[in-house]
Chain A
Amino acid sequence: MNFRHAKTFLLGAIALGFLASLAANQINPYWLFIFYDIGIGIVMAVSLNLINGYTGQFSLGHAGFMAVGAYTSAVITNQFGELNFFVANGIFAVSLYAGGLAAALAGLLVGIPTLRLRGDYLAIVTLGFGEIIRVILQNMEKVGGARGLSVNHGYTNLFWTFGLAAVTVYVVASLVNSTYGRGFIAVHDDEVAAEAMGINTTKYKVTAFVVGSFFAGIAGGLYAHSKQFLTPGGFGFMQSITFVVMVILGGMGNSVGVILAAILLTLLPEGLRMLSGIEHLPGFSAERPLGWIGDTRMIIYSLLLIALMLTRPQGLFSFRRKRN
């Protein structure tokens, strides 16, 4: 990816998000929430791509970091009642940042002892971490335990989701495209050689982990103020897998591909749901001829994934990678 006009891209995307959020009341709320999910999916997938794709570590606990951010920011905004527009958004920004920091801290705590592990071992440890977070939340009565936590304010809007998605893309791309950041890919390619070439591999891995977790925490904050209800079960292992699938489907270490995969994988279940909801189709006498899709939606989704992985193991959107 040519990243020379990075700042222009960033400011443009944020401005676009701002304009879109002004027109938000023209958009069907059903679609609005899908757009939020897409933006959150992009933040999650792109940040995970820094860890799993570029740096070549295998984290299966990304939803755990998202949970840390979600609960942190929700607890903060729940302290406040109705506020005027500017104060509310200011508090929301602070809470997102705090959620990101809390998740980054969790990432640091998990990362330092575990990142000397490789491949499958790291995957197991991060998986365990994600489950620990879930169980802790389930048993924390202060945040509702298993009953869940309702979030009083629906602050999430198009400006915040797409603005922050753009910031995530910008930060990850700026990092890996710099001379400093080639070290991430060097670690991915050959740790021994990287170490011999003066690259502090542990520091790079922890950096990737902390930055990735930070954005997962921010995504969690956006999620909390979009759904307005959090349950520990929503941040389980399957959720982490969904983000890993986005990264693999997009092509590890390919930001554009991963963004497209995040969009596709968010839209796909909704698209299948819509197909099954069609009342009449020419040539079919029965009502809702595609209703069976609704029942087998997740099976179709899984089969599609299998087919995609068999035909394009390098990632759906991974073409010959260009370098600037």
Chain B
Amino acid sequence: MPSLLQLDQTTIRFGGLTAVSELDLQIGRNELVGLIGPNGAGKTTAFNLITGVYQPTSGEVAFDGKSIVGSKPYHITARGIARTFQNIRLFPSLTVFDNVRAVFHLHLRGDVRHALWRGKGYHAEEKSIADRVMELLEIFQLGKFRDEAAKSLSYGDQRRLEIVRALAAKPKLLLLDEPAAGMNATEKVELTRLIQFIKDKFQISILLVEHDMKVVMGICERIVVLDYGIKIAEGKPEEVRANPKVIAAYLGE
């Protein structure tokens, strides 16, 4: 079986700067992979290549057996890749409920005319969406905030809501961009548990970009290390930890 996500010699240049160079990356089904590297290593750029925000200068990005190079971000999301952002990007003026509901338009059967006619089919569909949204919110203990504006939630809750929102797209691959940023030690422990839980419960693959070594080492099955846009190591957490190149990149020689 081919891997779910496959990057083949993917390169992106901005003018004279090669931000990501000939990156090979595979993510299998229901696998949890970590992508780490020092500041400016190209982790978020790699993320943006996968989600279609940037187009690669050369190389290939394939998802579920098909190339996604040239697809718009919203197409890629519809195909089954959903993401969160390093600096939380919820829809601040929408409620918690509506933040998740807005994503459900991907699964709508009817189109605009349904919304205008407001017939039986429309109400039934809206009801079933509402149920599914609440189900998701309840899984992550956010149900009690359903009518709060998203911006009024605490930082940790906003992070969780962002993950719920991404899950509402029913992704096969979830990309988490530095989810532990700005969290304290206890929150980080909770987060690792949450990520593990998501992987088991929804049976999806996760690519985790993270700065915090503890979080990554703790849960990832495989780790890819980037430095200056080049993959310098790949392997099990303990292998990567012992790799002299990685130590050099993080601590300097």
Contact = CB atoms under 8 A, between A and B. Distances in A.
B108 A180 contact: yes
A199 B51 CA distance: 13
Interface in B70-98: 72-74, 77-78, 82-83, 85, 89-95, 97-98
A9 to B, nearest CB: 11
B126 A178 contact: yes
Given A181-B115, A197-B82, A323-B98, A190 B90 contact: yes
Interface residues of B, number: 40
Contact of B94 (A185, A195, A198): A185
Contacts of B126: 178-179
Contacts of B103: 197-198
Contacts of B93: 185, 188-189, 253
B105 A183 contact: yes
Nearest to B133: A179
Given A193-B89, A193-B91, A200-B72, A175 B115 contact: yes
A6 B123 CA distance: 12
B89 A198 contact: no
A199 B74 contact: yes
Nearest to A195: B73
Contacts of B185: none
A195 B89 contact: no
Interface in A1-47: 6-7
A131 B199 CA distance: 56
A174 B116 CA distance: 6
B79 to A, nearest CB: 9
A188 B116 CA distance: 21
A201 B104 CA distance: 15
Contact of A182 (B90, B94, B125, B147): B94
Contacts of A253: 93
A198 B108 contact: no
B95 A180 contact: no
A175 B112 contact: yes
11 contacts: A7-B118, A179-B126, A185-B94, A189-B90, A196-B77, A197-B74, A197-B165, A199-B102, A199-B105, A200-B72, A207-B112
Given A189-B93, A196-B82, 9 more contacts: A175-B112, A178-B115, A179-B101, A179-B108, A182-B105, A185-B94, A190-B92, A194-B102, A197-B102
Interface of A: 6-7, 171, 174-175, 178-183, 185-186, 188-190, 192-201, 207, 253, 323
